[in-house]
Structure 1
Amino acid sequence: MTQANNTAATNRQDNDEIDIGFLLGSLWDHKIFIIVLTAIFAVAGLVYATLATPIYQADALVQVEKRSGTIGGANVGNLLGNQEPSTSTEVEILRSRMILGQVVDQTDLDVQITPNTWPVIGEWLLRRGMQRPGFAEGSDTVWAGETLSIRELVASHDSNTLQLTLRSEGQGSYTVLDAQGNELGKGRVNQKLTIENPWLELTVNELTAPAGATYTVIKRSHLSAIGGLQGRLEVQSRGETGILRLNITGPDRSELVESLNATTNVFLTQNIARQAAAADKSLEFLEEQAPKLREQLTAAEDRLNEYRLQSDSIDLSFETQNALNGLVSIESSLNQLQLQETELARRFTPNHPVYRSLLEKKEQLLREKARLEERTGNLPETQQQILRLSRDVKVTQEIYVQLLNRMQELRLARAGTVGNVRILDDAVVQGQVAPKRNLIVAVAGMSGLLLAMIIVLLRAAFNRGIVSPEQLEELDLPVYATVPLSEEENRRNTKGKNAGKRKGKSKGGLLAVRNPADLSIEAIRGLRTSLHFAMMEGSNNRLVITGPSPAIGKSFMSANLAAICAQAGQKVVVVDGDMRKGHVHEAFKQDSHNGLSEVLSGKLEFAQAVKTSEVEGLSLVSRGSAPPNPSELLMQARFTEFLDYLSEHFDLVIIDTPPILAVTDAAIIGKQCGTTLMVVRFGQNTPKEIQIAENRLATGGVTLKGTILNAMEKKAATSYGYYGYYNYSYKSE
């Protein structure tokens, strides 16, 4: 099992393969952080969904029929040759500026009124019907029941948006301000206010807000208001059924119903007007031609009567009568085609199939007419003249009758036009479509969960501290002890830091005295045994305990190791070698005065610096007052003399030094000591830091004997594959 753990640890350090077990374990170790961050995001999403302005949707149903019927079954489109428009065409007409522009004019969508409310929660309070509280009297905010209604707002601008501020002055009066807060004019309810610069006319028909309340009034350009309506309007076609569903969204329910109903009504009116417009244009053309044809008919009749009188009323022969009837029929047909050609020429080019068919038919009739005229060329001159004059009368009469009939048909068609659009359902607000509270909360919670997982995984990926003894052994550093994290000491340190912030300092005492059965103390007892054999090779009885960085437990290790060695019958002294920030004296419940710095500066004798403790056989040398030059004091001969003094009077001298990566004090002290151990903090110190610290010591001539892995924790990320920490609790009754 140990071999498998070593192999897994080696693989983790030597390659960059993804370790799923380590990543999952890291997530499990930080489950509280993940849960808290997820909950924070979910609550934030809930707050947003609650405070956000609700958006509602209204819909209406419109039918576009194939062709609407008219009186007597007449059909305007058929009379004029119109083709059936597709549903997609009607959809585009509905969304056109022609339709929506009239809707904007009818519903005043170009005027937007926004009450001034509190930031973030003001609109929510307004929707909840919150009346103005006493502390808000005289403020510029608007509360429930305080309304402003504008009947008319006409401005000189067309392409720009005009922003105004309307402030209530109480008693139905108000003041108009521009966007910069400059006063433009004063007015009263139901009275027109005219402002010269910028020119505008304003009529307020309702103002119930008290004095001081302000509203932002925006007069949008006509094009901007149409664009806003187009953005909110959606038209859906249901296949080839001709059914169109109109949807519009917005925060104001009454405005949605009003705007959508106006859209359907304008569309219906436009459709009817479009159907009748074609008949109106054709009827107008025919009414212009009717008097001219009437004059031509009168003139033709007069010429025929005059010739008959001159020729003594010569009658037509049978052959001439037949020729006359044929020519009249052809002329009538040609005239009808001429009318159709005039109408088609407005909408089609001569290359259009309908236009070409008409021209071919016209050419055929002209050829038939030429043939009949050739046959009548052999008749007597009198018969030919009578034929020509009679033909003119009958043809003109026939054309005139056709024209009158066509005019009557168009009048009937125009009178019976009802359009091919029918409103099936008026606008109704279906409900709130945004924000979707459940979806927002779910998305926010998932975002928080994902963010928390990313943070944890990134920290796990970029902060790979030492988590097992095997990793230290891979650096060719023996591990003399693995000391588990003491929950009791951790709690006391946390409380001590808080108390230190309040009171200036905290004195915790020795864990070896308070709780000798603590797992950390048991592990340090194992270190005492290993240390006995390690120091046998040393040149003296001095032990240096250092580390690569601060806050890794050096002082804790030094003080409690000294206490355990003293409890075993040895005479031990602990020297706080960190004259800058040392705090070993706190574990002994003493102060830092009269310590190492005073001894090295010659202000204190050796014996006077050694202080006794509550543990028999255990003494302390505190750091003393913080000197300006700690490194220089350590390099003096007096420090060597002091160490010799301690070695003569104690069985074991333990020196707690500053971090080697921060200052060089540890290398100076270690040079005069026989054994040096490095404390490594679980999950904090990286292999790179340890290698650099070892090199720093080696550069100063200090050989690192081994390491102590401190504050071991049982975590899912580290217990999987790499390190499993098992323990037993053994206490006396």
Structure 2
Amino acid sequence: MPPKPGIPALIYNPVIPNDSIDVVRLLGMLLDYKWLIACIVLVFTLTGIVYASLQTPIYRSDALVQVEGRRTVSPIGGPENNGDETIQGASIAAEVEILRSRMVLGKVVDRLGLDTIFSPQKLPVIGDYVLRNNIVRPDVSGLPLVGGWLNKANHPALWAGENIEITHFDVVDGLRGQPLILKVMEEEKYHLYMNEEFLGEGDLGTEAYFIDGAVQVRVKTLNAHAGAEFTLIKLSQLDAINALASRLSISEVGGGNRGPSTGMLRVTLTGADRNEIRQTLDTILDTFLIQNVERKAEATQRSLAFLEQQAPELRSKLSNAEDRLSEYRASVDSIDVDAEGQSIIQQFIDIERQVNEVSIQEADLAQRFTRNHPTYQSLARQKAYLISERDRLEQRVSTMPAAQQEVIRRTRDVEVTQAIYVNVLNKLQELELVQAGTVGTLRIIDTAAVGRVPIYPNKASMVGMSFILGLLVAIIVVVVRGLFNRGVESPEQLESLGLPVYATVPLSGDQAQLERVFQKRRRKAGNSGILANSHPADTAVEALRGLRTALHFAMLDASNNCLMICGPSPGIGKSFVALNLSAVCVQGGHRVLVIDADLRKGNLHRAFDHASEKGLSEVLSGRLELSSAIRSSGFDRFDYLSRGMAAPNPSELLMNVRFTELMDKVSKEYDLVILDTPPVLAVTDAAIIGKQAGTSLMVARFQMNPPKEIKLAINRLENSGVEVRGCIINGMQRKASAAYGYGYYQYSYTPDRHKKGLAEHV
């Protein structure tokens, strides 16, 4: 909406296209609150650094194990390889499960005592850090509160250098997993508690029994101050095994679904103690290797037992066969076997030896495979063939003379039994050698090793994540703050309401300093509480000088020379504008009276370091003459009228005819009368005062008063017959988010002794 006729207004043009407003405004908001963002990011980053430093480092120990092809020992053929790739792959998976089994881990738990936990009482939050970095108890006895707390004789927390050595600790099954508290006492004694219940007292170096022997403790050394506490826990073996298994990881190196198995296993163990995890992993591998070797030795021992059982039987059978042959020859005189008979006997010997070997192999395979297994079926076919060959030889022998048949059969029995017996004796010797040099199918390639760099925490990652999180939180805070901050930011927003903008007053740093000085009552002689008098070159004062020029033309057609300065809400700088506008008008040669018409909370008198009494409320109530109430500001042609005593009925006083008479009188005596009013939306006083003023201006605070709020205040005044001629935007700041869509220019041109000439674009 264009400005009203005769009213000059500042013209502002957008400098950035509408289609880029949102993005640019967002970037501007981030730039405006860069220090807030930096502080939030710094806090999050420092928190991340502290958090990462306080975390207990977790290390990883790793080792490499080779699983060779599964081999067994045949009772008659020594070590043999099954040659089945399926069995080879299955053996890898089986060895992995054996390594994770309770059989292996249980032995490790018992061997290293991992079912026993001794934990010292630590300081809150920093306890691990103190012990980890060997920080001894500081001498801070002189510090209040903290010093007494840290040096208290019976404080339960331990520092570096304090420890305990327990050589024996055992509890009954019903108390496993139950924490017990050991408290150090004077004279090498200690007390034991369970659930805060005192169990008894123990002495250093002696076995102590509690709860009728349900708890047994032997403390060897005790290097801790009196009052220190330790937590003792005896876990069940299953809980200890599960705790160990949760830290153990096993994976095959190489191979995979698409390639052959490499048989190489990477075994890792994690923990906070580097020495503990290295020792534990080495113990796991040793236990794993020992059980593997024992398993292989067990197979060899089983074969030896079988052959040792067969040897006496074969020896007896051989003796009987020799006796039968000797008796037959003696009964029929000596009968020699011809060449054909010798050949048949030799074939019988070979076949019987092979049948015997196959039978032994069959007995061994029957313990490991079913009859449908390919290896077992192949051996059965071989045995059937040998038996058929033996039957064929029997048929040949049956065609010979009876005497020769008997000699051949008895000679065959002797030769075959003797060959088998000799073979069994040879295999017994071989298996004894094999048993002496038995090795398993496992080989430790790399023993346990622990890196110096922990796998957790990753401090760089934690700090980086803290930085990113802080940045995101800061951006969210700024964006949410910007979304809820709908205060006016540009003159266009007010001009769209049909309200011309007469001035944009920059936020003055000198004014804030001036207020602090006056609050502390350290004002120097000759200084004023008005910015226009103490800092005439301030940019805010220059903006008010521009307003003075605009008002000169705006008030030409006004009904009187009274100017009302109002605003929708408190704390927006109405009094600042009224006072300093009065001062610049006085500097322009006008005789000015500024009236504090806020009978409730007016504070114009503070700028002059005077009391509020004897002011407007006394005049309107008839208790004081106007001439006695008007005071001099200390400057020529500049007077003011304070609010007076706080009145219980300010609206009624303002509606009194005395107020109209007062305004008529001062309008004739002064060139300009400026009235500072209470907030429009809070009370109705401004609407009453506006009736007596020829010109009314609305003050809006930058990024504080929303356009809708200003529109509501204007409507309330217009409903009472008060016309608002224009607006003043107070507290303008150079903010990127506010400058994206309009040009707000602020100039200063002062003598060199104050500052150099400059032009700033906000």
Q: TM-score, normalised by structure 2?
A: 0.83
Q: Is the 8 A contact 1:549 1:660 kept in 2?
A: yes
Aligned counterparts, 1:638-717, within 5 A: 639-717=659-737
| Bigger shift: residues 297-306 or 215-224 | 297-306
Structure 2 residue 560 is matched with structure 1 residue 555: no
Instruction: Answer yes or no: is the 8 Å Cα contact 1:160–1:220 preserved in 2.
Output: yes
**Residue 209, structure 1, aligned to residue 224, structure 2:** yes
Confirm whether residue 445 of structure 1 aligns to residue 467 of structure 2: yes
Aligned to 1:589: 609
Specify every segment of 5 or more residues in structure 1 that has no aligned partner in the other structure, as ranges: none
- The 8 Å contact of residues 30 and 456 in structure 1, kept in 2 or not, is answered as yes
- Find the counterpart in structure 2 of residue 54 from structure 1: 57
Matched AA of 1:143: W
**Match in the other structure for 2:477:** 455
Matches within 5 A, 1:506-521: 509-521=529-541
Q: Which residue of 1 aligns with 2:505?
A: 483
**Counterparts of residues 70-85 of structure 1 (less than 5 Å):** 76-78=79-81, 84=88
- 5 Å-filtered alignment, 1:328-339, equals 328-339=349-360
Aligned to 2:363: 342
Is the CA contact (8 Å cut-off) linking 2:252 and 2:265 kept in structure 1?
yes
Map of 1:169 onto structure 2: 185
Partner Cα distance (1:668, 1:387) in 2? 149
Give 1:284's aligned residue: 305
On the 8 A contact 2:168/2:219 being kept in 1, the answer is yes
Q: How far has the Cα of 1:509 moved from its partner?
A: 0.8
Percent sequence identity over aligned pairs: 47
CA distance in 1, matches of 2:29, 2:549: 34
- Deviations along 1:381-413, one digit per CA (max 9) or x if unpaired, are 666666666655555554444444333332221
Report how far residue 207 of structure 1 moved.
1.3
Q: Give how far 1:150 is off.
A: 2.0
Judging changes above 3 Å, is the alpha-carbon distance between structure 1 residues 565 and 93 closer, same or farther for their aligned structure 2 residues?
same
Letter in 2 for 1:138: N
Amino acid at match of 1:408: Q
Q: Give the equivalent residue in structure 2 for 1:567.
A: 587
| Structure-2 separation of matches of 1:248 and 1:622 | 83
Aligned residue identity for 1:364: Y
With over 3 angstroms needed to count, the CA separation of the structure-2 counterparts of 1:698 and 1:382, relative to structure 1, is: farther
Q: Residues 97-176 of structure 1: matches in 2 within 5 Å? A: 97-133=102-138, 135=141, 136=151, 137-157=153-173, 161-176=177-192
Query: Deviation per CA, 1:286-345, whole angstroms, max 9, x where unpaired?
Result: 444445555555566666667667777776676565555444433432332222222222
Q: Summarize the alignment of residues 260-275 of structure 1 with structure 2, pairs less than 5 Å apart.
A: 260-275=281-296
Does the Cα contact within 8 Å between 2:63 and 2:449 map onto a contact in 1? yes
Partner of 2:565: 545
Cα distance in structure 1, aligned partners of 2:620 and 2:400: 157
- Maintained 8 Å contact 1:554/1:679: yes
Instruction: State the secondary structure of the residue aligned to 1:561.
Output: helix
* Cα distance change on mapping 1:457 and 1:80 into 2, 3 Å: closer
TM superposition shift of 1:110: 2.4
- Specify the alignment match of 2:146 in structure 1: none
Structure 1 residues 296-695: aligned runs within 5 Å: 322-378=343-399, 394-433=415-454, 434-493=456-515, 499=520, 509-601=529-621, 603-631=623-651, 633-635=653-655, 639-695=659-715
Distance 2:78 2:657 in 1: 123
Give 1:527 shift. Answer: 0.9
Q: Please list the CA deviations of residues 627-654 of structure 1 after superposition, one character each: whole Å capped at 9, or x if unmatched.
A: 4554455455555455445445444332
Cα distance between partner residues in 2 of 1:223 and 1:496: 77
Task: Determine the structure 1 residue equivalent to 2:5.
Answer: none
Question: Alpha carbons of 1:609 and 1:91: their partners in 2 closer, same or farther (altered >3 Å)?
Answer: farther
Q: Which residue of 2 aligns with 1:32?
A: 35
Gaps of 5+ in 2: 1-9, 142-150, 256-261, 754-762
- What does 1:196-235 correspond to in 2, within 5 Å? 196=211, 199-235=214-250
Q: Which stretch has the larger CA shift, 473-482 or 276-285?
A: 276-285
Q: Matched residue of 1:727: which SS?
A: strand
**How far off is 1:510 after superposition?**
0.7
- Secondary structure of the corresponding residue to residue 203 of structure 1: strand
- Look up the equivalent residue of 2:167 and give its one-letter code: R
Note if 1:728 corresponds to 2:733: no
- The farther-off stretch of 403-412 and 139-148 is 403-412
Residue pair 1:159, 1:223 contacting (<8 A) in 2 also: no
2:50 partner letter: V
The CA deviation at 1:167 is 0.9
Q: CA deviation at 1:590?
A: 1.8
Counterpart contact for 1:679–1:708, Cα < 8 Å = yes
Range with bigger deviation, 333-342 or 514-523: 333-342
Distance 2:494 2:743 in 1: 13
Between 98-107 and 232-241, report the one with greater CA deviation: 232-241
What is the one-letter code of the residue matched to 2:171?
A
Query: Are residues 287 and 665 of structure 1, via their aligned partners in 2, closer, same or farther at CA, if it must alter by over 3 Å?
Result: farther
Residue identity in the other structure for 1:481: A
SS in 1 for 2:302: helix
**Paired residue for 1:190?**
205
Q: How far has the Cα of 1:543 moved from its partner? A: 2.4
Indicate how the Cα distance of structure 1 residues 77 and 625 shifts in structure 2: closer, same or farther if over 3 A, else same.
farther
Rounded to whole Å, the distance in 1 between the matches of 2:528 and 2:409 is 137
Letter in 2 for 1:111: T
Q: Which moved further from structure 2: 541-550 or 695-704?
A: 695-704
For 1:656 and 1:587, locate their aligned partners in 2 and report how far apart those are by CA, in whole Å. 14
CA shift, 1:603, in A, is 4.7
Aligned to 1:6: 13
Distance 1:426 1:718, change over 3 A: same
Q: 1:477 to 1:188 in 2, by over 3 A?
A: same
CA distance 1:337–1:65, change in 2 (3 Å): closer
Pair 1:56–1:81, CA change in 2 (3 A):
closer
Change (3 A) 1:613 1:79: closer
- Amino acid of the residue matched to residue 214 of structure 2? W
Counterparts of 1:522 and 1:165 in 2: how far apart (Å)?
A: 77
CA distance in 2, matches of 1:76, 1:49: 56
Q: What's the CA shift for 1:226?
A: 2.9
* Letter paired with 1:156: V
Distance 1:648 1:56, change over 3 A: same
Q: Could you give the per-residue CA deviations for residues 663-683 of structure 1, whole angstroms, max 9, x where no partner exists? A: 443334334433322212223
